[in-house]
Amino acid sequence: MLVEVSKFTEGSKDKVLRPNGLPESLIRYDARQKEMATSSVTELVEAVKRPRALSESTNRPLMRKSEGNGNAEERAAARRNSENMAPSRRKSDSGTRTSMQRISELPEKKPGRSNRLSFMGLKKKSTQSKPDSFEDKFTLDDGDYFGAESEEDDDDDARPDSLDDKVRKKEMRKGIDLATTLERIEKNFVITDPRLPDNPVIFASDSFLELTEYSREEILGRNCRFLQGPETDPATVRKIREAIDNQTEVTVQLINYTKTGKKFWNLFHLQPMRDQKGEVQYFIGVQLDGSEHVEPRTNSIPDTTTKESEQLVKQTAENVDEAVRELPDANLKPEDLWANHSKIVHPKPHRKDTPSWRAIQKILDSGEQIGLKHFRPVKPLGNGDTGSVHLVELCGSGLYFAMKAMDKTLMLNRNKVHRACAEREILDMLDHPFLPALYASFQTKTHICLITDYCPGGELFLVLDRQPMKVLKEDAVKFYAAEVVVALEYLHCQGIIYRDLKPENILLQNNGHVSLTDFDLSCLTSCKPQLLIPTTNEKKKHHKRQQDPIFMAEPMRASNSFVGTEEYIAPEIITGAGHTSAVDWWALGILLYEMLYGYTPFRGKTRQRTFSNILHKDLKFPGSISVSLNAKQLMYRLLHRDPKNRLGSHEGANEIKRHPFFKGVNWALVRCMNPPQLDAPIFGTEAEKEAKIVDPGLLDLQNNVF
């Protein structure tokens, strides 16, 4: 066990620092392994508590309804009993191309990857799923479902066991950040830093470790000479050294050796990565094992194979170059990492005349730079894995703001520096009624802080939880979904893929309208707005009214980070095929389902089970709650596993806006709509407000910040 952990982490080198004080390794693996271990232990504890339930959930073979031998009457009775109970809303633990072009860096088809997917429960053991067909799979009976449904699915998707209210409210579905795009490139490559003595390795892919049989601990901080051996050609090695000295790229083939002395022919491509000033930042070295193609007579790889392989390794190097640019430069000083957080925030056109901005501007006009001293802590609002959110008052103004404080050390140890910097940049771009305004950002010795709008209505999650059946009526769902669509449309127009849509991240303002929050898992890319001219049907040409052109603006670049919240993650994120803004439309489908039914459609008893359900399980609509056909159709179209065929993938938000579910919505005046009347009001009674007890742990966090 220790050997395996050491192989894929820095091992004893996790504390080794560069001369600038930053970690030697480009990625910190130790904290990530601890998070994965914590998740595994949690599942193990659950298995000990309820061994039968867990084993039945994960081990029973999939079986179609028609193949089951169970008592149908007993199942129907059980379903009726569950329908009479309010559903429990369990919380579980949760990162330039055309818009829908898949990322070109696809995983290699390796036995190792296949085995890992099977072990995690992500590889389907039965026959492959048939292509989705809406007309064939939509039914109108109680318990509507799309596609064949198994008895096991019935049990696993039944309303979950009720949890104690305090437990349910205390648990939070957290966003997960399992891997950056760089880590998910399944090719053999290393990254070295020529600015350090002897150009040492600062990153090695898992595939490289498997090829060379070395552990990451043995490679980090060393020059790649350890791959050389008796038959390695010195002249070829000199070519590589000259390319490094001249800061140019080179492609060669040479004999290298694994840790156990196994010889292999290495088609090696070296490529410099330059920063914005044109200076070399890193070298990317891509290896391709060409041993099986070697001609015995010439003792080399044939020219035809070499040309094809050269294209492959060069493309891999380009993908690595693009992926590594998401991360902060390892040569920066620690204090330079947070430089953007010390910049002054300027008001945006639509917010500059609000009382909040006038109060902030008054301080700036006096020549002071806004900092922690200008805010009085009122109460903590919540916390995440790297920081906390606090309600604060701007001293002497009577105005309230939300302050997000993130621990610098934790951000560094958990590979979240680039996420925090992206969030700061994204917030500074926003100027929309359904998105937060950034008023200030600053840093202390230990924390970086963001000052944004305070939303007194709290999370949509808690509003849902207060409803008698933990669900919303369809008119309320339409209202909140419409505002979310408009907010996502704006984000996509700015080149932002949100990637963490869920009820916890939808806050309700004092006017009852929504505000999407928490952008630490969002991806900032570029966007090229397009004007699409609708094609005219020959039969309708005689109609006088011409169709209006369609404005579409979707992010241009794909990503391959493994980020999101467990139950809301899209299939393409799990498979690592690369994802675009279509993941936000998938999450919208899950959100609709949760608002209408009180829980998400694919959740399982373990994370692995949830991911397996997302990839393979049929979408089922319980008959216990009356939901319109239009709503079911919309969810079905949004929850299409193929992102190219998902609603919103061709014409962006316009496709979704035109869906019959949103009939009657005046999209131009969405912000003027009256919020719906809910069974349990958003703001609650004064007695309920007074009864709220602040978690002592959150108070400790607040004391650490202030």
> Which residue numbers are catalytic?
500
The separation between the first and the last C-alpha atoms of the chain, rounded to the nearest angstrom, is 42
Please state, in angstroms and rounded to a whole number, the distance separating the CA atoms of residues 341 and 417. 12
Please state, in angstroms and rounded to a whole number, the distance separating the CA atoms of residues 685 and 531. 48
Please state, in angstroms and rounded to a whole number, the distance separating the CA atoms of residues 34 and 415. 13
Please state, in angstroms and rounded to a whole number, the distance separating the CA atoms of residues 519 and 499. 8
The secondary structure element, H or E, covering residue 270 is strand 263-274
Please state, in angstroms and rounded to a whole number, the distance separating the CA atoms of residues 563 and 584. 12
Please state, in angstroms and rounded to a whole number, the distance separating the CA atoms of residues 460 and 483. 13
CA distance to 102, 145, 308, per residue, from 572 (Å): 10, 22, 28
Whether the Cβ atoms of residue 640 and residue 132 lie closer than 8 Å to each other: yes
Long-range contacts from 133-137, C-beta under 8 angstroms, 24+ separation: 134/633, 134/636, 134/637
Q: What is the CA radius of gyration of the chain?
A: 27
Q: Which of 580, 587, 530 is nearest to 555 (CA)?
A: 580
Say what the alpha-carbon torsion angle 135, 137, 138, 142 is, to the nearest 10 degrees: 160
- Say how many C-beta atoms besides its own lie within 10 A of residue 382's C-beta: 17
Half-sphere exposure of 520 (CA within 13 A, CB side): 22
Please state, in angstroms and rounded to a whole number, the distance separating the CA atoms of residues 220 and 203. 7
Give helix 474-493 / helix 582-597 axis angle, nearest 10°.
160
Whether the Cβ atoms of residue 338 and residue 667 lie closer than 8 Å to each other: no
User: Residue 404 annotated as binding?
Assistant: yes
Please state, in angstroms and rounded to a whole number, the distance separating the CA atoms of residues 331 and 324. 13
The secondary structure element, H or E, covering residue 163 is none
Long-range contacts from 16-23, C-beta under 8 angstroms, 24+ separation: 16/220, 16/221, 18/196, 18/330, 18/331, 19/196, 20/331, 20/332, 20/333, 20/334, 21/333, 21/334, 22/330, 22/331, 22/332, 22/334, 22/412, 23/330, 23/412
Tell me the two tokens of residue 312. Answer: 């492959």
Please state, in angstroms and rounded to a whole number, the distance separating the CA atoms of residues 521 and 562. 10
Q: Which of 516, 519, 507 is nearest to 391 (CA)?
A: 507
Chain centroid offset of residue 555 CA:
15
Tell me the two tokens of residue 354. Answer: 């609000």
CA distance to 17, 67, 557, 618, per residue, from 70 (Å): 62, 9, 50, 20
Per the listing, tokens 């939300």 go with: 402
Main-chain phi, psi angles of 690, to 5 degrees: -70, -30
Q: What is the 3-state secondary structure (H, E, C) of 277-343?
A: CCCEEEEEEEEEECHHHCECCCCECCHHHHHHHHHHHHHHHHHHHHHHCCCCCCCCCHHHHHHHHHC
Please state, in angstroms and rounded to a whole number, the distance separating the CA atoms of residues 113 and 106. 12
Beta bridge partners of residue 550, listed in sequence order: 532
Q: Residues comprising the binding site for ATP? A: 404
Q: Residues comprising the binding site? A: 404
